[in-house]
Amino acid sequence: MQPNNQWQRVSPIATVYFFVKSLPHLMNFWPALVPLLAGGEQVRRMAFTYGIPAALLLLVVGVFLQYWFFSFKVEEKRLTLRSGVLNRKRLTLDFERVQQADIVHPFYFRPFGLATLGFESAGSAQQEVDVPGLSVAAAESLRRLVLEQAATAELPADDASATTEADFSLRLGPAEILRYGLMHNTLLYLAPLAAPLGQYIGPLLESSVASIEHSQAYALISWVSENLAISATLVLGLLAVLAGTTLLFGLSVVLALVRYWDYQLTRVGDSFQYRAGLTTIRTRGFKHYKLQKVTITQGLIARLLRRHSMVISKAGSFGAMQAQNNQRFEVPVLDIINLLLLRGELSLPSASWQWVSRSYWLFPVMFMAFLLGLSVLFGCFLLGTAAVWGLLLLPLIYLYFKRRWYCLGYYRDSDWLALRTGFIGFTERWLPTGKLQKIRVVATPISRCFGLVHLQVWSADGVMTIPCLPIALANQMRDSLLTDVVNYRRAWL
């Protein structure tokens, strides 16, 4: 799609997009249901015969009008959108400001060869712009135009982006995506919500024991319970937990497969791009110079599977955490070889992690020991000597904080500032030092007594704290980081 200064309308199929978009707004009309409940039979009958068809008609007309009044114009350096039926809106997006350009292929566009092109721009007011119902070719060419413009704004035009030959590519098979589903089981956090159901499950189990007794399966259960000398109810309970967990993991895997099916990451020149999805195929890209933070994580399950995940963030919107998560450039699963390759692509060095001061575990352990001592003493008066057993918690406290300290490390070289935290797994956060926004050195009353301070750095995507550093070291780091920032005169946002 070439710049032509003409107002253009999108494909009529885009009405489906507007329909889907307007569905959430229907929720705003819930007060209209009140008279239905309060009113008599007459009102309800009227509503069903006239109300519902009228509402549907309104919806259809509304969606059509939205489509009719939506138009866009591609100019050399900007994209202008007109939208809105009653409140006309005109939005201008400078290509130079575009942070990210996604092509989304929703399932309802795919039979027609259409796609939605989504832009996200930086600036004091973060904006997201969607152009639905473009033909795939038009979307691709407009996206390329925008990204090239965004690049040429600061960099000499490189011919590499014109060619489609990838300098680096990474492809994830279904087995890898399946691992992602196991690693990032967000549904598992819902499990505690199911706990109140336990009181209903108990009696249910009791009654099912009775019915199962007559079935074939009972032979197995009774065999297990007899051989392991546990009650049949417990066996059933364990089975239920097992089934529940399997279900959660199964769902998580399915969600992962839907989201990251056929994940392909490519780098051409300094622009990275990934393409993934089963029902909705998403193409998302970013330019290397816009990188604000790289996060590498490995949780407990990921550690068992020997996999990592990476998130690359650009200037973020902090108000909408959820939106931001959806906007991130994710590499869901990386085995060690791919991780090393990708780290090389992003020019992340291999870090030699520095420990922070030992006070980082000493303080909390002493404080907790003091609290524990007090409560044991108090417990002795109330419960007798049995309370002394409470002191057994002490080694656990010690191990916890010592381990936390052991896993915490920071690293600084000429281009990066990194922090690694963890307990069983780990999280590494890498910030390009030239792009730091604000640096703060904080001394609390206690830490000051021991000559320690915390160093906080703000990137354009969140804050990172390196705790318990010697004052002189922190000050020196602050000065050198600031030097990096003032000397970084290239485009960074």
Per CB under 8 A, residues contacting other proteins are 122, 124, 154, 315-318, 436-445, 448, 453, 458-463, 475-476, 478-480, 482-483, 485-491, 493
Choose between 242 and 472: whose C-beta lies nearer to other proteins: 472
Choose between 90 and 440: whose C-beta lies nearer to other proteins: 440
Choose between 213 and 413: whose C-beta lies nearer to other proteins: 413
Grouping H, G, I as helix, E, B as strand and the rest as coil, residue 171 is: strand
Burial class (CB in 10 A: 0-12, 13-18, 19+), 197: exposed
Taking alpha carbons only, the member of 330, 307, 327, 295 closest to residue 183 is 307
Integer CA distances (angstroms), 266 to 273, 285, 467, in order: 5, 9, 37
The Cα–Cα gap between 312 and 273 comes to 11
Residue 280: CA count within 13 A, CB half-sphere: 14
Angle, helices 198-212/232-260, rounded to nearest 10 degrees: 120
Place of tokens 């609390």: 444
Q: How far is the CB of 480 from other proteins (least distance, A)?
A: 5
Q: How far is the CB of 316 from other proteins (least distance, A)?
A: 6
Choose between 291 and 315: whose C-beta lies nearer to other proteins: 315
Choose between 396 and 472: whose C-beta lies nearer to other proteins: 472
Could you tell me if residue 84 is left (phi over 0), alpha (psi between -120 and 50 degrees) or otherwise beta? left
The Cα–Cα gap between 175 and 260 comes to 11
Q: How far is the CB of 440 from other proteins (least distance, A)?
A: 5
Q: How far is the CB of 78 from other proteins (least distance, A)?
A: 18
Q: How far is the CB of 199 from other proteins (least distance, A)?
A: 37
Q: How far is the CB of 478 from other proteins (least distance, A)?
A: 6
> Is-contact 301 252, C-beta < 8 A?
no
Choose between 150 and 342: whose C-beta lies nearer to other proteins: 150
Q: How far is the CB of 19 from other proteins (least distance, A)?
A: 34
Choose between 400 and 458: whose C-beta lies nearer to other proteins: 458
Q: How far is the CB of 462 from other proteins (least distance, A)?
A: 7
Helices marked H in 190-260 = 191-194, 198-212, 217-227, 232-260
Taking alpha carbons only, the member of 437, 361, 373, 367 closest to residue 401 is 361
Beta strands in 48-138, from DSSP E residues, in sequence order? 71-74, 78-83, 89-94, 98-105, 114-121, 127-135
Number of residues written out for the chain: 493
Choose between 176 and 484: whose C-beta lies nearer to other proteins: 484
